[in-house]
Amino acid sequence: MADARAEILERLRAGGGGEAVPLPDTAVLARRTWAPAERMARLRRGMEAVHTEFLEAAPGQWPGVVLGFCRDEGFANLLYGPRCAAGQALAAAWTPRDPELIPYQDPVESFKATLFDGVAAGFTTALAGVAETGGLLLEPGPEEPRLLSLVPPVHIALLLASAIEDTLWSAMRTRGWGKGTARNSLLISGPSKTADIEQTLAYGVHGPKRLVVVLVNNL
């Protein structure tokens, strides 16, 4: 196996030629821009088309919107990241009478049963939105682990309207991805769905059954 690998790498190196890789022509992407309000509308249309739900909130009022949604839905609890700024703002709006607020702060092995069978919804922040295709850009990390948005049946995502980019290309430029690889990024446009079995569309098989975006209009 090692000899085969070395042989393949040797052929690749020999075939490279040493020429400089041409830069991509991104002029067409640079021209795809919209006004901030239109970005918000485009993102919403694109995501609602694939069953994403939206809640609107004014700056500073979004924790109350999340709390009201959880109450209306009858959720027993909500999982969140207590070390991020949004998580702390959420906890400040909660009272002992509200649905239980569960902090995601321990290794997954210590509360696996609760995570997979006892959590009603998970709350995360979205790093950005993509207006062109309608989607959220998330970068899970220690403060908001990937399982926080993947395992609970309902994913509630906080998105600032000012963070909506025209295109994925502009989002990558804004965040300097050309200078280094993002640690763990993902794009999501709607709840998890699959049609693997008999081409019957089913939601929530490999991830959340519902995606609810709390859109904060801070334009």
* Confidence (pLDDT) at 1: 57
Detail the DSSP E strand segments found in 94-173: 100-103, 122-125, 128-130, 135-138, 154-160, 164-165
DSSP string of 171-191?
HHHHTTGGGS--SS-EEE-SS
CA dist., res. 126 & res. 124, Å (int): 7
pLDDT tens digits, the chain, 219 residues: what are they?
568 888 888 887 777 666 777 788 888 888 999 999 999 999 999 999 999 999 999 999 999 999 999 999 999 999 999 999 999 999 999 999 999 999 999 888 888 999 999 999 999 999 999 999 999 999 999 999 999 999 999 999 999 999 999 999 999 989 888 787 677 889 999 999 888 888 888 888 888 999 999 999 999
User: What is the pTM assigned to this prediction?
Assistant: 0.87
Question: Distances in Å between the alpha carbon of 30 and those of 115, 134, 153, 173?
Answer: 42, 18, 37, 11
Neighbours of 16 (CB within 10 A): 9
**Pairing state between β 128-130 and 135-138:** antiparallel
* Confidence (pLDDT) at 18: 65
Q: Which two tokens stand for residue 154?
A: 């309902």
Helices of type H across the chain = 2-16, 27-30, 36-48, 62-73, 85-93, 112-117, 146-150, 168-174
* Confidence (pLDDT) at 2: 63
Q: Is 80 exposed, middle or buried, given 0-12, 13-18 or 19+ CB atoms closer than 10 A?
A: buried
* Confidence (pLDDT) at 111: 87
Q: Which two tokens stand for residue 100?
A: 């239980």
